[in-house]
Chains A and B, each alone.
Chain A
Amino acid sequence: MFELIVAGFTFVALIFYAVTGGADFGGGMWDLLATGPRADARRNAIDKAIAPIWEADHVWLILVIVILFTGFPRAFAAMMTALNIPFTLMLIGIVLRGSAFTFRKYDVKSQEVHRRWSTLFGAASFFTPFIQGVALGALSTGQIRVVEGRLASGFFAGWLTPFALVCGLFALALFAFLSATYLTADPSTESDVKNDFRLRALWSGSALAPIAFVVFITSKQGAPAMYHGLTQWWAPLLIGMTLCFAIAALISLWLRRFALARIAAMAEVTLILGGWNLSQYPNLITPDITIFNAAAPAITLRLLTYALFAGAVVLFPSLFFLFRIFKGKESE
């Protein structure tokens, strides 16, 4: 029972990370891609939108990791061994992204220096979520094998498959879309810039459909367990709902109902991750490590559950306050 609660919490934290932290990466991508007459205005908007919240958003990832190693230590140990290389690469990306973003803010000596930090920030914002997508995809491939408590598949299994790489691309497109959508709804964005991001959200949101389709197709070979899950009786329902929200997001963007678009985009991402999770339940690393066989002893899970609820009681009001102050309607 408790293992399911803890797994649920891990999953919720992962969704929050994607919906908030993922969008911050998207901001970095648009920063790097910004060209044309309003490039600097767009960069400013991104900077303003991300600066107060990105650290809090980033902590979701840390939370996922600590819950994972407390609640599912075997899964954690296996993931970190099997995906040692991609995770190391991801960490480099995280370090460079976060520090470049902070440094460019406080290192204001010259335009030249500022631009160099910005390039690093943008490049790392592409690289990191790509690797994250690849790593998550690798967990579903079924190629990471754990036999009798030992990793049997080496350090290159899973994450170099076409399926995992397509998952990486999908993560990129998803976060770019999220970010552009949020920026249209951000209270501090100017209206010209809003229009720019509206267009970007529209086409990155449309690009998601073909990439998602490729993910699905490659999963037949690359992640058979997931493919099997996605062809169950309930799958059309889930995929249909995801599609509805995707279309709703695009339509609201088209009609400039930006607040609505933001909600629809969040729901879309939540359902996509939900589908990924549900299609391979109860596997954590397909096929050998599951929620049940990797779970920590009952007492740890019980205490962890209490801690998570207690933490949530502190966390959610604080987060709500943070987002109300910076993302709510402009009061002045």
Chain B
Amino acid sequence: MGMSLAFHIVFAALGIGLPVLMATSEGLYLRTGRPVFLELSKRWSHGAAILFAVGAVSGTVLAFELGLLWPGFMEKAGAIIGMPFSLEGFAFFTEAIFLGLYLAGWNRLPPFVHWLCGVLVAVSGALSGIFVVSANSWMNSPAGFKIVGGKVTDIDPIAAMLNPAASHEVLHMILAAYVATSFAVAAIHAFFVLRDRANVFHRNALGIALALGCISAPLQMISGDFSARSVAKLQPVKLAAMEAVYYTQTGAPLQIGGIPDNASRTTRYALTIPRGLSLLSTHDPNGRVIGLEQFPRSDWPNVRLVHWAFDLMVGSGTALFMLSIAVGWFAWKQRGVPDGKSLLRALVAAGPLGFLAIEAGWFVTELGRQPWIIYGVMRTKEAVTPMNKIAIPFLIFTLLYIFLSVVVFYLLRRQFMKTGAPVSELLTNNV
């Protein structure tokens, strides 16, 4: 399941982000009438098509896997948290319908209607993301039910969907999808601009991708702060693990990296910033931060992995934030798409960072919740299928997903690479 999710989250994030780029580009074409934008939105729509198809099948796998691997969880949770999944089903449906119209409707729909279809793909993509993440956030902050004598009662699916963790998780994930997609796409086009500096196609592509990236990356920093403070309130044990804090303290230092050691309850070799953690998580340099000691040992997640994954996420996110500031600065100075050699190189290098941050962040939220599958309610091992040879399907799906990823990667590369025929005609339009 984890394996499938780790793949799906990449397809899904691209599926949320890429339609935004595609619709933006077509919108620019409708306004300016320049063919380069049309070509660009077509090219991106091919990418969206490949990813959507793979996202659709890998999403199906997940829907089934919920039951194939976690029947115990679904039996209890289905009635409480199935709602957002059902709504997601509809959002996904709308996305599929309008993507179908978009991809095959270039000559059949009036331009404005066609563009509207693209916008609807982007909107319903974001909506699917919102619903799915709100279901996930419920596992972190279960709400909307009571347990009386081992039985679930007083179910309130709306309260479950609008659980306390939903707002921050949803915001953080949707923004993450935009940041990761735009910087990954920007990296590809930056690479080609480096090779062929006069290439109008890639320069425009870079411009659109960076515009989205530079809006979403700073917003993501704010949403990250909001998330951390919500987690401090809702799941203090998770925050303690993320920051590798063993003892409750005021004026807690921020520890970056290092090796958390459960036995001695210390974190060695970490880069520490005095009072940093208190400042970040309570907005007060002398604020009180709860440590792992407050919780029974059996409720701790894997501190080392959670802490490292968290630092990886924050590190990648911060790097992208700095990069977006630099891009904004140069764009303002040059009054156009920045094309400094070292900036382009940095963009190429930063391409995978967004997805690295997504994977790491997902790791933090899932591993940080362990040993619970529903925080404070159900342990992971109570929910797993009684099927004993679970390793076999797991292996099969892992191989299948690796196969898919390799092919997707290869095909996407080809989609972006071929700038064959239309280039000469594109070159007649200057940036």
Contacts and interface: CB of A to CB of B under 8 A. Distances in A.
B269 to A, nearest CB: 43
Contacts of B415: 106
A109 to B, nearest CB: 8
Interface stretch (A192-200, A207-215, A218-226, A314-322): A314-322
Nearest to B52: A55
Interface string B397-418: 1001000100100110011000
A217 interface: no
Contact of A84 (B57, B82, B387): B387
Given A55-B100, A92-B396, A325 B53 contact: no
Contact of A88 (B156, B158, B393): B393
A145 interface: no
A314 B99 contact: no
A98 B387 contact: no
The secondary structure that dominates the B interface is: helix
Interface stretch (B90-98, B205-213, B295-303, B343-351): B90-98
Interface in B121-156: 155-156
A112 to B, nearest CB: 16
Contacts, number: 213
A303 to B, nearest CB: 5
B398 to A, nearest CB: 12
A216 interface: no
Contacts of A318: 93-94, 97-98
A63 B56 contact: no
B377 interface: no
Contacts of A80: 64, 66-68, 71, 74, 385
A95 B61 contact: yes
Contact of B60 (A61, A79, A101, A103): A61
Interface in B346-405: 385-387, 393, 396-397, 400, 404
B155 A69 contact: no
A74 B92 contact: no
B270 interface: no
8 contacts: A52-B104, A63-B86, A80-B64, A300-B83, A304-B157, A315-B94, A318-B94, A325-B105
A95 B411 contact: no
Nearest to B79: A296
A41 interface: no
Contact of A106 (B46, B82, B96, B404): B46
A8 to B, nearest CB: 15
A263 interface: no
Given A81-B387, A325-B101, A300 B88 contact: no
Contact of A296 (B49, B50, B78, B393): B78
A80 to B, nearest CB: 3
Given A80-B68, A87-B64, A300-B83, A63 B89 contact: yes
A72 B100 CA distance: 31
Given A55-B52, A91-B60, A76 B157 contact: no
Given A62-B89, A81-B386, A102-B54, A307 B83 contact: yes
A126 B347 CA distance: 45
A46 to B, nearest CB: 15
Contacts of B410: 107
B50 A79 contact: no
Nearest to B399: A92
B78 A69 contact: yes
B335 interface: no
A75 to B, nearest CB: 10
A22 to B, nearest CB: 15
Given A65-B60, A300-B157, 12 more contacts: A52-B101, A73-B77, A77-B74, A77-B75, A79-B67, A84-B68, A98-B53, A99-B404, A296-B82, A307-B90, A321-B97, A322-B97
A307 B68 contact: no
A19 B82 CA distance: 26
A67 B78 CA distance: 10
The secondary structure that dominates the A interface is: helix
A6 B107 CA distance: 39
Given A59-B93, A81-B385, A304-B86, A69 B67 contact: yes
Contacts of A59: 56, 89, 92-93, 96
A95 B400 contact: yes
Given A63-B93, A66-B85, A81-B71, A94 B60 contact: yes
Interface of B: 46, 49-50, 52-54, 56-61, 63-68, 71-72, 74-80, 82-83, 85-90, 92-94, 96-101, 103-105, 107-109, 155-158, 385-387, 393, 396-397, 400, 404, 407, 410-411, 414-415
A168 interface: no
Given A73-B82, A79-B67, A62 B60 contact: yes
Contact of B87 (A56, A98, A297, A311): A311
Nearest to A295: B79
B88 A99 contact: no
A331 B109 CA distance: 11
Contacts of A300: 79-80, 82-83, 155, 157
A151 interface: yes
B101 A65 contact: no
A326 B108 CA distance: 9
B90 A314 contact: yes
What are the nearest 9 A-B pairs in CB distance?
A: A70-B82, A80-B67, A73-B78, A296-B79, A311-B90, A102-B53, A52-B104, A77-B75, A77-B71
B27 to A, nearest CB: 21
A70 B71 contact: no
A238 interface: no
Given A103-B411, A106-B415, A62 B92 contact: yes
A232 to B, nearest CB: 32
A98 B96 CA distance: 13
A84 B64 CA distance: 9
Contacts of A244: none
Contacts of A53: 100
Nearest to B53: A102
A332 B424 CA distance: 31
Contact of A69 (B57, B85, B385, B397): B85
Contacts of A308: 86
Interface in A289-319: 296-297, 299-300, 303-304, 307-308, 311, 314-315, 318-319
A99 B83 contact: no
B404 A325 contact: no
A280 to B, nearest CB: 21
B8 to A, nearest CB: 11
Nearest to A106: B411
Most buried by A among B58, B60, B400: B60
Contacts of B50: 102-103, 106
